[in-house]
Amino acid sequence: MDKAELARRIKDAAYLEGDFILRSGQRSKYYLDKYLFETQPDILAELGRLFAAYAGDVDVIAGPELGAVALASATSLASGKPFAIVRKTQKDYGTGKLIEGTPVEGKRVLLVEDIGTTAGAALEAAKTLVDAGAVIVRMVFAVDRMQGARENVEAAGFTFETLLTKEDLGI
């Protein structure tokens, strides 16, 4: 699948119009429902393949719960590298870990994320990973809404990459 076909498939599967409040608190007349595109096998496989191209110099793939877990898993399968899941909050049962799966201490990490608006969730996950001793090599987003994610990631000292932008989707 080429970039134009992937963009078309994502838009066809997940583009919604209406009045939405985004995680950032911003209002939007459109919404890209990550669960609608991440649950399509052809889209998920292609995203995993594309994210894996950024994994050559890392030890671990990481994805924030819940939206990026499927992306981290697909990237792990495509790259052959283990992955970790970054929780939003610590659970009060089981191991109580904030990072599940592969240990990240002392590891070089690729953080994959679904939709970048302001990158708030990705930056929270990055802080959790860094606090656990990981080195974030780069953050790669499936789609950049072009509303500050790049600027916020770079201002925090991380490398920002994206597979697609809202312009690629014709939004």
Domains of the chain: 3-165 (3.40.50.2020)
Residue-level pLDDT, tens digit, the chain, 171 residues: 999 999 999 999 999 999 999 888 889 999 999 999 999 999 999 999 999 999 999 999 999 999 899 999 999 999 999 999 999 887 666 667 899 999 999 999 999 999 999 999 999 999 999 999 999 999 999 999 999 999 999 999 999 999 999 999 999
Query: What Å distances lie between residue 112 and 65, 128, 140, 163, CA to CA?
Result: 11, 14, 5, 10
119 conformational bin, left if phi > 0, alpha if psi -120 to 50, beta if neither? left
Q: What is the pTM of this model?
A: 0.95
